[in-house]
Amino acid sequence: MAGAEGKASDLPTRALSALVMVIVAGAALWAGGGTWALFVAAVATGVYWEWSGLVKGFATGPAQRLGWMAGGFVYIVIAATTLLILRLGQYGVSRTLLIVGIVIAIDVCAYFSGRTFGGPKIAPRLSPKKTWAGLIGGAAGAALVIAAYATWASCYDPLFGHCEFERFGKHLPLALAGGTVAAMIAQAGDFFESWMKRRAGVKDSGKLIPGHGGLFDRVDGLMALNFAVGLVGLVMLGGRVLSGAPLLPGAL
Is the CB of residue 149 less than 8 Å from the CB of residue 134?
Answer: no
Q: How many Å is the Cα radius of gyration of the chain? A: 19
pLDDT of residue 217: 87
pLDDT of residue 3: 41
pTM of the model: 0.82
Q: Which amino acid belongs to residue 101?
A: G
Residue 213's nearest CA partner among 203, 204, 201 is 204
pLDDT of residue 129: 77
Which sign does the torsion angle of CA 160, 161, 163, 168 carry?
negative
Q: What is the pLDDT along the chain (252 residues), one digit of tens a residue?
A: 334 344 444 667 767 777 888 888 889 999 988 999 999 999 999 999 999 999 999 988 899 999 999 999 999 999 999 999 989 887 888 889 989 999 988 888 888 888 888 777 887 777 777 888 888 888 888 888 888 887 777 666 666 555 555 555 666 777 788 888 888 999 889 889 989 999 999 888 888 776 667 889 889 999 999 999 999 888 766 555 555 555 544 444
pLDDT of residue 238: 59
pLDDT of residue 46: 93
- The structural domains of the chain, with segments of one domain joined by +, span 40-242
Q: Which amino acid belongs to residue 211?
A: G
pLDDT of residue 125: 75
